[in-house]
Amino acid sequence: MNISLRNKKALVGGSSGGIGKAIAQQLAESGASVTLMSHSEEKLHNIVNELPTDQGQQHQYLAVDFNNFNDYKKVITKYFENNSVDILVNNTQGPAAGNALEKQVNDYQQAFDLLFKTVVFTTELALTSMIANNWGRIINVASVSVKEPLSYLALSNTIRAAVVTWAKSLATDVGKHNITVNSVLTGYFDTDRITQLNAKKAEQLGIEASQVRKEMESRVAVQRIGKPEEYGYLAAFLASDNAAYITGTNIPIDGGLLKSL
């Protein structure tokens, strides 16, 4: 099966590292012109120069602060005044870890702005050209925690669940325009985020971070942590014409971590 995204334009959030970067790389390798989006302008500049251009792609980047919705709104609105996208990958950094007893109502509001408002607002802007072109792909980077909540990620559990239910509703509304909307439920992947979470958990338990990782791997059916590039393969497929009949889904990519159906 050949996945070709030639002449497609993609906007990928959180793409200065980890899963977002891996998605951007695979979309570019499949022929898409990619706009990277994250807060680290230096990292974005370097990654843009690394992306392939052998299929005539033109890549660029957008420096944004997902944690400041008002500033983000201004930057992304200006971007869409002169740009359109065929593929939108909604991805941001996760909110701070912690259980429900540790979080206050203001923490939930900040997480809502970060994980939900940025996603919905960006999607609204992207949909204008997608509807006009009668083609589009919206991919939300979510988490397995929407199916099986993780006690130490109360904010992420709560707000990402809102994202996937919104996405399900949106898929119904835009399907007639040949636009698909899917959410990917992320398991354990070898990223800076998981390293940070493991370090915090190790500190709380008084054990080594390496032990936390081994215990994490033991819970996964394939007995290992995922590679970011494996995530990119799924995203590229969902962004292609090959996935035209897949929409409104929540697709786990977790090596068999989830125990529920």
State residue 182 phi and psi, 5-degree precision: -135, 150
Integer Cα distance of 36 and 22 in angstroms: 11
Element (H, E) at 43: helix 41-50
pLDDT tens across 106-163, in order? 999 999 999 999 999 999 999 999 999 999 999 999 999 999 998 889 999 999 999 9
CA-CA-CA-CA dihedral for 140, 145, 148, 151, to nearest 10: -170
Integer Cα distance of 186 and 112 in angstroms: 19
CB contact at 8 A, 253 and 226: yes
Tokens of residue 13, six digits: 């959030």
pLDDT tens across 13-70, in order? 999 999 999 999 999 999 999 999 999 999 999 999 999 999 999 999 999 999 999 9
Element (H, E) at 11: strand 9-13
pLDDT tens across 97-119, in order? 899 999 999 999 999 999 999 99
Q: What is the pLDDT of residue 205?
A: 84
Tokens of residue 203, six digits: 């500190």
Integer Cα distance of 222 and 226 in angstroms: 9
Q: What is the pLDDT of residue 261?
A: 84
Neighbours of 36 (CB within 10 A): 27
Integer Cα distance of 38 and 20 in angstroms: 9
Integer Cα distance of 185 and 142 in angstroms: 5
Based on the number of CB atoms within 10 Å of its own CB, is 232 exposed (0-12), middle (13-18) or buried (19 or more)? buried
When pLDDT is cut at 50, 70 and 90, the band that residue 237 belongs to is: very high
Integer Cα distance of 49 and 97 in angstroms: 33
End-to-end alpha carbon distance in the chain: 28
Which pTM value belongs to this model?
Answer: 0.95
Q: What is the pLDDT of residue 50?
A: 96
Angle between helices 105-112 and 154-174 (to 10 degrees): 40
Mean pLDDT, rounded, for 61-89: 97
pLDDT tens across 167-179, in order? 999 999 999 999 9
Element (H, E) at 211: helix 209-218
When pLDDT is cut at 50, 70 and 90, the band that residue 254 belongs to is: very high
pLDDT tens across 190-219, in order? 998 888 888 878 888 889 989 989 999 999
Q: What is the pLDDT of residue 108?
A: 97
Q: Which domains does the chain have, with CATH numbers?
A: 9-187+227-252 (3.40.50.720), 188-225 (no CATH)
State residue 259 phi and psi, 5-degree precision: -100, -15
Integer Cα distance of 129 and 236 in angstroms: 20
